[in-house]
Amino acid sequence: MVDTEVDLESEQYEKHREAGEILAQVREETVERIEVGASHLEVAEYAEDRIRELGGQPAFPVNVSIDEEAAHATPGIEDDSTFGEEMINIDIGVAVDGWLADSAITIDLSGNPDLAEAPGAALDAAIELIEPGVDTAEIGAAIEEAIDGYGFNPVVNLTGHGLGHWEQHTDPSIPNRAVPQGTELEVGDVVAIEPFATDGSGKVSEGSAEEIFALEREGSVRNRQTRQVLEQITEEFRTLPFATRWLESSRPKMALRRLKSQDIVHGYPVLKEDDGCLVSQKEHTVIVTPDGCEVTTR
């Protein structure tokens, strides 16, 4: 049953909105810094630092995905990568007291403007449909139809998602293709709509690179340096994803290996398109309202 008694003016939703406002500003400033020869690490750290300056905290490390990369790519501690004539996806998250906003955009320096435009058209089609009672399967069908209209494929094993308190991915899942059955959206749902388009077959798989991690469970460790890293993770990031380069340790990778071996943290391997083809992305966060939706990240 759709709940029409949700107070969309409550502190929770105001903090979602504040996170969205910060994100929109940081996204715009970050895009202006992307050009051939610019540093991945400097761009990511600029965005993360600006989020903090404006009163939020990064909800996850800024994702800098290149060409066939779809998600979970962020620069390492001494990463010297620079942008080339590539398809570049920038995915940014902001938390305000644990209430989240999530948005992504493609910057095309590769000469494939139609592929860069396709997920934006799909996102617009999805947002037009969002209202209480709409089935997420209907949203997925609209996304697939829009991307297909450009001659490309949606990435079918990546989805949009709900945003919870200190939780980056919650129910409901928002498919990027037609599915037999979904979930009805309700007033007060906060969801990230996240179409991905590709000129490949439309599936991604995990690669070997891993720079993003998150706390899996509480635990204790004997090694002093590892214990200090765990304390930082628990107190500063809680259950939100974090980057290796955020850790205040002289040997962060060793500490993470120890924590992973005890299943205290888990990693997010970089996701790549199976055929090695280009991937584009566009994402906004919306709040479902009684008469439609409110986009918080524009």
User: Catalytic annotation on 91?
Assistant: yes
> What kind and span of H or E run contains 167?
strand 167-174
- Sequential DSSP letters for 12-38: HHHHHHHHHHHHHHHHHHHHTT--TT-
Catalytic residue among 21, 48, 68, 102: 102
The helix/strand/coil state of 212 is strand
11-207+276-295 is a CATH 3.90.230.10 domain: yes
> What kind and span of H or E run contains 64?
strand 57-66
| Region 20-48 average pLDDT | 98
Using the structure block, give the residue that is written with the tokens 């986009």. 295
Q: Residue type at 17?
A: R
Catalytic residue among 48, 86, 91, 138: 91
| Region 210-225 average pLDDT | 95
Give the model confidence (pLDDT) of 162-180 as tens digits: 999 999 999 999 999 999 9
User: Catalytic annotation on 186?
Assistant: no
Give the model confidence (pLDDT) of 222-281 as tens digits: 999 999 999 999 999 999 999 999 999 999 999 999 999 999 999 999 999 999 999 999
Percent of the chain at pLDDT > 70 equals 99
The helix/strand/coil state of 183 is coil
Catalytic residue among 194, 199, 211, 273: 194
| Region 68-96 average pLDDT | 97
| Region 197-204 average pLDDT | 97
- 212-268 adopts what CATH topology? Arc Repressor Mutant, subunit A (1.10.10)
Give the CB-side neighbour count of residue 296, counting CA atoms within 13 A.
31
Q: Are 213 and 264 in contact (CB under 8 A)?
A: no
Percent of the chain at pLDDT > 90 equals 98
Q: Residue 123 — φ and ψ, nearest 5°?
A: -65, -45
Residue whose C-alpha is closest to residue 154's, from 215, 213, 198, 214? 198
Catalytic residue among 145, 148, 169, 266: 169
User: Catalytic annotation on 16?
Assistant: no
Residue 102 annotated in ligand binding: yes
**pLDDT of the residue at 5:** 81
**What is the rounded distance in angstroms from the CA atom of residue 64 to the CA atom of residue 92?**
9
Residue 79 annotated in ligand binding: no
**Domain spans, the chain:** 11-207+276-295, 212-268
Catalytic residue among 18, 21, 138, 161: 161
**What is the rounded distance in angstroms from the CA atom of residue 164 to the CA atom of residue 119?**
24
Sheet containing 284-289, strands listed edge to edge, beginning at the edge strand earlier in sequence? 167-174, 160-164, 190-193, 284-289, 292-295
**Cβ atoms within 10 Å of 249's Cβ, excluding its own:** 15
Res. 3 pLDDT band, cuts 50 70 90: very low
Residue 91 annotated in ligand binding: yes
Residue 16 annotated in ligand binding: no
**pLDDT of the residue at 87:** 98
User: Catalytic annotation on 169?
Assistant: yes
Mean pLDDT of all residues belonging to the chain: 96
User: Catalytic annotation on 32?
Assistant: no
